[in-house]
Amino acid sequence: MKTYLLIIFTASSIFLTSEAEEFDLPLVLDATGVSACIQVCLSDLFYSAVELVHLQDPVQRFSNVCRKYDEASICVAKEKFCLQSTIFEIALSGIDEVCNERGEDIMQYKDCLETQSEIVLKNCDRECYFTDVLVTLSGKGNAKELQRLQNKTKDLQKELASLCVTFGCMSSCMARDFNINCSPVGTMIVKALLKPFFTFSSIFDEIGPRAKLSVYRQVPPQCYYLVDFQEVEGITFGKPPTKKMSKSPEEAVLNEITRKEEMKKKKKAELEKQFMMDVQKGSLHLVEKNKHR
């Protein structure tokens, strides 16, 4: 569950608006179980990401985030005995994707992003209460809250539920609004930032239902969508996560299996239909050809 928190907070740091001045980074990192050797490497990167949208020209400052990410990567690589380096790589793979894999593609829309970024972020934050949830959970005015939650699984699940709801709302809203104004960069950015969840969902789909069931038993139903490939993919096109929730982890897995079976049947039916149409076209073509002999 703490790994979930780390990954969500990592992606969330890019979304934070200028109202998030009380976001307490050290407290968040402590609560997510990040060891000291990783915290040293992450601090500058996280603060740089938060500053990205505090400033008037967020796009111009984006290169600084990428530079801090490269520095953090080198820092972690030097910590040979730090057991959480793999978690770091997965959690920050979204930022790596934005900076190194898709950076040039995204920067093709630089002019549009420069005029729209602050507007989109603030509008989506207003719609999703994103900053409010994060500040309530980690704000300096509530400094002991996350530390208390570390040892109380039920309370942590409640807070994680709120975080998952607002995160899904914020990320899908960003994809939607950026696509409206700067298409298709909204999908490009959000898909890159959600890479950790694409990775997890693919792994769990490959391993099978038991693996996903073990995850569902650790997180609230509001977070199930984060390990559902179709749900995560939908977010990148501006579609909010499905609000319908299963009553239990077992029901959630069963529903997914049923849905996938239905999709397979539908796809099979479509292929069979296409095959029959091709056969009919071929037969008609043969008949016409014989007529002209």
Furthest C-alpha separation in the chain: 89
The reply to whether 15 falls in a domain is no
Higher pLDDT, 275 or 225: 225
* Long-range own/partner contacts, residues 148-152 (CB < 8 A, 24 or more apart): 149/31, 150/2, 150/30, 150/31, 150/33
For the record, the structure tokens of 70 come out as 């490269």
pLDDT of 209 higher than 90: no
Q: Which residues fall within 8 angstroms of residue 199, CB to CB, at 6 or more apart?
A: 90, 93
d(CA 17, CA 121): 7
pLDDT of 237 higher than 90: yes
For the record, the structure tokens of 199 come out as 């990775």
Average pLDDT over residues 7-14: 59
Q: Are 65 and 52 in contact (CB under 8 A)?
A: yes
pLDDT of 191 higher than 70: yes
The reply to whether 150 falls in a domain is yes
CA angle 240, 69, 138 (to 5 degrees): 55
Higher pLDDT, 35 or 58: 35
The reply to whether 273 falls in a domain is no
Residue closest to 210 by CA, chosen among 246, 254, 145, 243: 254
Q: Are 82 and 135 in contact (CB under 8 A)?
A: no
d(CA 41, CA 39): 5
The reply to whether 266 falls in a domain is no
Distances (CA, A) of 129 to 32, 94, 123, 173, 177: 22, 23, 10, 12, 16
d(CA 258, CA 212): 15
Q: What is the pLDDT of residues 108-157, one digit of tens each?
A: 998 898 888 888 888 998 999 887 887 777 654 454 555 555 555 566 66
Q: Is the pTM of this model over 0.75?
A: no
Can you give the pLDDT at residue 154?
62
Q: Are 69 and 45 in contact (CB under 8 A)?
A: yes
For the record, the structure tokens of 114 come out as 């420069």
Q: Which residues fall within 8 angstroms of residue 134, CB to CB, at 6 or more apart?
A: 9, 12, 16, 20, 23, 163, 166
The reply to whether 11 falls in a domain is no
The reply to whether 282 falls in a domain is no
Domain span at residue 231?
25-243
H/E element holding 19? none
CA angle 245, 248, 254 (to 5 degrees): 85
Q: What is the pLDDT of residues 85-113, one digit of tens each?
A: 666 777 778 888 888 888 889 889 988 98
d(CA 293, CA 291): 6
The reply to whether 271 falls in a domain is no
The reply to whether 253 falls in a domain is no
Cα 201 versus chain centre, distance: 11
Q: How many independent structural domains does the chain possess?
A: 1
